[in-house]
Every structure is written in structure tokens, then in C-alpha cells.
Amino acid sequence: MNNKTALNLIFIAAILLLFSQTTNHAQNNKTLDSKQKSQTEDDFSEQEEVRRTFQLSPGATVEVSTIYGAVDIETTDSDTAEIHIIRYARNRADFSSRKINIEQTANNLAIRGERDLSQERAKVKHRVLLKLPRQVSLVVEKVNARVNVGEIDGAVRMARINGAVKIAQAAGFAEVSNINGSFTMTIIKLGERGIRAEEINGSVELRFTDDLNANLNVIEFNGSVNSELPNTTVIEKKRNDIFAARIGAGGIPISLTSINGGIRLSRVGSTVEQ
């Protein structure tokens, strides 16, 4: 890995550490004995739940941001958005911190947590479960855990995720950046704007359902680049620096920059798929 890539990955880690330091403070203190660790990890016994239901217009934008816990998003063919938020705390008084606000119109749904700037140990953890219409655009950013997303027909943007990102299926433009974990996505139809992923501290796997005509450009990577797609022509290849290829007739851009892990492009249903 060259110096620029190393500096970029250090920058990712610094941003994510700043966002998550209060969550991980107690878990990273190796001076705690096993009993104290068990208490720290398991004593979030208080729960506060929110359940809301909204109607969204086709093409609406859904934004999820500043969440201190895992996010799971299912999708359906309806026009109904179902929100289930769980906040965990050690005592009821702690629920005054890390609140989550919900704002909704016919064309927009925003679920935004409050930023915790305290230097104390984490008082509240989140769990967000959403059921959304497929025909939406999705923005998820500043999440301090993994993110799983179902089948989305609109554009997808992910940024500053401190955990793995999995998108079951996307049909439009996808932009992913500053991910501290692996990134996996299945694409049923690649839009004209293509895919852009950068600053990924983990492996990248892109799976395609249709024959693909695209230009693949990988810059600054630490791992192998494997395209199992038919009609792939390598144009330029330089270890850990650049990998350029034409897939099919070329055209739509797939741009991957600063990837600290292996990169794989494959067809859905490939016999070597796990």
C-alpha cells in the first residue's frame, strides 16, 4: 500500500474513532476485570421503543443519520414506511441523551440521532429497524455499527459507517464512502452514473444480475482485484496502485478508490459464489 492510501485509511479511522469513542470507551479499557466487562456490556437493561408508520410517495428520499447501533432496513412493494427504534440505557435518566428525531413529509423521511459529544462512557445505545417502500432513494450516514439494506430501486448513498455494509439489491446510482468494514452489493441494473466507492477499510464485492457494459477503475488498493464477469479486458494494471478494465462494450463508470481489502466482481448465480 502506498503512503497516500495509508494516510487515507488513517483518516477514516480517526473520523470513525471520533464518532464512536464514547460508545467503545468502556469496551476498550483492558484494565477492567472480567466481571466489570460483563457488567459494562450487558447492563443496558432499560429500553425505550418508538414505533411509527408513514405513507411515502414513489421516489421519496429516506435519510438515516447519527445512529449509535445497528441499522436493518427491509423493503416492500407497498407505499408504507414502518419505523421501529429501540434505545437501550442503564437507567431511565440516561434516556435524556442520544435522542432520535423523526421528520416526515410525503417526499422525505428523516431519522436523525442527536450527536453525543460527551467524553463519558456511552449512556444510550440504538437499534433501528425500518421497513420501507422499494421505490425510494436512501441516504445512511454516521452509523456506529453495521448496516443491512434490502432491495432498493432508487439511488443509495452510504457514508461514515463504522461496520460492514450489505445492500441486498440496488437499481440505480450508488455512492459509498468512509466505511470501516466490508461492502457487499447486488446490482440489478446499473444506472448511467454507475458506482463510486472510496475509503473502504475492508473487502468490496459487487454482484450483477445482467450483462454489464462498464469501465472499471480501481485506484490505490491493498488486495487482489478479481472480475469473474464475462468479456472483461484488462487495460492497465499496476500492483496496489491502479487496475483498469473494460467490461463488455464499456461505458458506465465503476470507480473504486482507496480500498483496504480484496475486490471481486461477479454474476449472481455464479458457481463460485458463497
In a domain, 244, yes or no: no
Q: What is the pLDDT of residue 6?
A: 52
Complete edge-to-edge strand list for the sheet that includes strand 252-259: 100-105, 108-113, 60-67, 136-143, 156-161, 174-179, 195-200, 252-259, 214-221, 242-247, 232-238
In a domain, 18, yes or no: yes
Residues 117, 118, 123, 125, Cα dihedral to 10°: 20
Are the C-beta atoms of residues 164 and 202 closer than 8 Å to each other?
yes
Cell of 53: 408508520
pLDDT tens, residue order, the chain (274 aa): 555 555 455 545 554 554 554 444 444 444 434 443 334 346 889 999 999 999 999 999 999 999 999 999 999 999 999 999 999 999 999 999 999 999 999 899 999 999 988 878 889 999 999 999 999 999 999 999 999 999 999 999 999 999 999 999 998 899 999 999 999 999 988 888 999 999 999 999 999 987 889 999 999 999 999 999 888 999 999 888 999 999 999 999 999 999 999 999 998 875 444 4
In a domain, 39, yes or no: yes
The total of structural domains in the chain comes to: 1
Closest CA to 69 of 131, 147, 164: 147
Q: What is the DSSP letter of 10?
A: H
Closest CA to 244 of 258, 230, 257, 234: 234
Cell of 147: 448496516
Q: What is the C-alpha separation between 197 and 166, in angstroms, rounded?
A: 13
Q: What is the C-alpha separation between 71 and 39, in angstroms, rounded?
A: 24
In a domain, 149, yes or no: yes
Cell of 30: 483492558
Query: If DSSP codes are grouped into helix, strand and coil, which group holds residue 221?
Result: strand
Q: What is the pLDDT of residue 42?
A: 61
pTM of the entire predicted model:
0.82
In a domain, 274, yes or no: no
In a domain, 212, yes or no: no
Strand 100-105 to strand 165-170: parallel, antiparallel, or no bridges (unpaired)? unpaired
Q: What is the pLDDT of residue 9?
A: 53
In a domain, 271, yes or no: no
In a domain, 8, yes or no: yes
Q: Which domain holds residue 142?
A: 3-196
Stretch (H or E) spanning 28? none
Are the C-beta atoms of residues 82 and 131 closer than 8 Å to each other?
yes
CA angle, residues 166, 62, 15, in degrees to nearest 5: 60
Beta pairing partners, 195: 174, 254
Q: What is the DSSP letter of 270?
A: -
